[in-house]
Amino acid sequence: MEAASVAHAVAHEDHHGPPPAHRSSRVEPQLLGMLLFIISEVMVFGAFFTAYFFIRVAQGDPWPAPGTHLPVIPTLFNTMILVSSSITMHWALRGVQTGNYRALKAGILTTFLMGAAFLFIQINEYANIGFAPQDHAQATIFYSLTGLHGCHVFIGLCLLLFVTIRAFRGHYSPENHRGVEIPGIYWHFVDIMWIIVYTTVYVI
């Protein structure tokens, strides 16, 4: 008993600083943080969708506003670009997981370029759509929803730029690819959210 007490005392003296953190979740902190962030962003989009449905359902206002036109077909083409970028993002992730660094570089660079093309086409649509955010309530909601999503695309492009630079510098490996996976999850969220925005705002 005395020997056990001495061993415990020695072990206690060898340990310095606070005790190790207790991880009650099996989810890694980076992944959990991204998932919680996405949940918060869904709530933000939900607030804007609430205003959209209030105009269309509660007030019964026509959508789009009389005298305005939404470019459904050109935006469908833009939607296909963004959805395809999710495929190239998955290709990049599978590449780094299997040690195929060419697939990683080609996939992540293609994803970045397709995302940039989507944002450029969206900005060009704003320049030629023919109405401004302050013209009527429908215009305000249109610019708010699509603009909010555009901001998320821009943030995603910044993340993809860093990932692309690191990929070409050889910073990732099959054992260390969280830096690709986490931004990839965010990019898939951006794509899914745009499908919802496009279907709701342009199609329905």
Which residues are CB-contacts of 43 (< 8 A; sequence separation ≥ 6)? none
In tens, the pLDDT along 91-134 reads 999 999 999 999 999 999 999 999 999 999 999 999 999 999 99
In tens, the pLDDT along 147-162 reads 999 999 999 999 999 9
**The pair of three-digit structure tokens given for residue 131, joined into one six-digit string:** 């109405």
Identify the structural domains of the chain with CATH numbers, from first to last: 29-203 (1.20.120.80)
In tens, the pLDDT along 38-51 reads 999 999 999 999 99
Q: What is the DSSP letter of 176?
A: B
Residue 29 pLDDT level (bands cut at 50, 70, 90):
confident
CB 97 within 8 A of CB 103: no
In tens, the pLDDT along 6-27 reads 445 444 555 556 666 555 557 7
Closest CA to 14 of 6, 23, 26: 6
The predicted pLDDT at position 14 comes to: 53
- Please name the amino acid found at residue 32: L
Residue 1 pLDDT level (bands cut at 50, 70, 90):
very low
Sign of the alpha-carbon torsion through 115, 117, 121, 127: positive
Q: How many CB atoms lie within 10 A of CB 80?
A: 12
Q: How many CB atoms lie within 10 A of CB 115?
A: 25
Q: How many CB atoms lie within 10 A of CB 46?
A: 9
